[in-house]
Amino acid sequence: MKSIEELCKELENIPYMRYRQAEIIKSIIVENNFRNAIEVGFYHGKSSILIASIFEEIGEGHLTTFDLEIAREKDPNIIQLLNSYNLSHRVTPVFCKRSYTWELAKIIKDTKEPVFDFCYLDGAHTWDNTGFGFFLIDLLLKPGGIIIFDDLNWTINKSPAYKKALSEGKDPYAQYSEDEKNTPAVRMVVEELVPMRNYECFEIKEVNWGISVKMKYDATRN
């Protein structure tokens, strides 16, 4: 079985997760005995492989991960990566027609109580997607669970993908105001919404992450 360091070296040409990020996730999973994780946004599946390999090393644990149907077209895609590293048994990839928020709705409907203890949220970074997604994930997250919000400082206007789209004459965010396009929406969710749901939040600047810990005692109710 390969270590996260070896995997990061072998997958260095595949975006996005970096070794330092995987190292932090490993210490969070190991220190908290987390065994049932959820991830939003797998892209090629690099972060999923790394999380799966942490569970493989522990000997138990599972990741349910979401992306859009277009992620099937990545080369390599998550299915190929999972097969080549013999990690398919550790991961359930869900390819969504429109958004992970609809897939989460189905899990919420079928689940009587919170089931996940860890979430890596690295999907669409807009206010609507991250804010609504957070409330859904919160319903599925056990007390003591942790959500990592990636790309705390992301804005539409600073996004390389958005700049590329504009240079090609397309504007996928045409309906957004300049105010919204210049606001780091993930940060706004972490600073304005998450603490209201009984989480303690802190930032890890070196990786541009917000870490939110769901308190076991609900201080928002009195």
Ligand X SMILES: C[S@@+](CC[C@H](N)C(=O)[O-])C[C@H]1O[C@@H](n2cnc3c(N)ncnc32)[C@H](O)[C@@H]1O
- What does the block give as tokens for 147? 């959500």
* Residue with the two structure tokens 């303690």: 200
| Site membership for ligand X, residue 46 (CB under 6 A) | yes
Please count the helices (runs of H) and the strands (runs of E) in the chain: 9, 7
Select the residue whose beta carbon is closest to ligand X and give its number.
Answer: 41
DSSP 154: -
> Minimum Å distance from CB 55 to ligand X?
16
Tell which residue, 5, 4, 95, has the closest CA to residue 43. 95
CA gap 137, 27 in Å, rounded:
21
| Site membership for ligand X, residue 43 (CB under 6 A) | yes
> Minimum Å distance from CB 177 to ligand X?
20
> Minimum Å distance from CB 215 to ligand X?
26
| Site membership for ligand X, residue 67 (CB under 6 A) | yes
CA gap 133, 125 in Å, rounded:
10
- What does the block give as tokens for 191? 């600073």
**Stretch near ligand X under the rule CB under 6 A, chosen from 65-73, 169-177, 191-199, 203-211:** 65-73
Q: Which of 24, 28, 58, 68 binds ligand X (CB under 6 A)?
A: 68
CA gap 30, 23 in Å, rounded:
11
Q: Which of 63, 124, 147, 156 binds ligand X (CB under 6 A)?
A: 124
Q: Which of 42, 85, 116, 149 binds ligand X (CB under 6 A)?
A: 42
Q: Which is nearer to ligand X, 18 or 142 (CB)?
A: 18
Q: Which of 17, 37, 63, 193 binds ligand X (CB under 6 A)?
A: 17
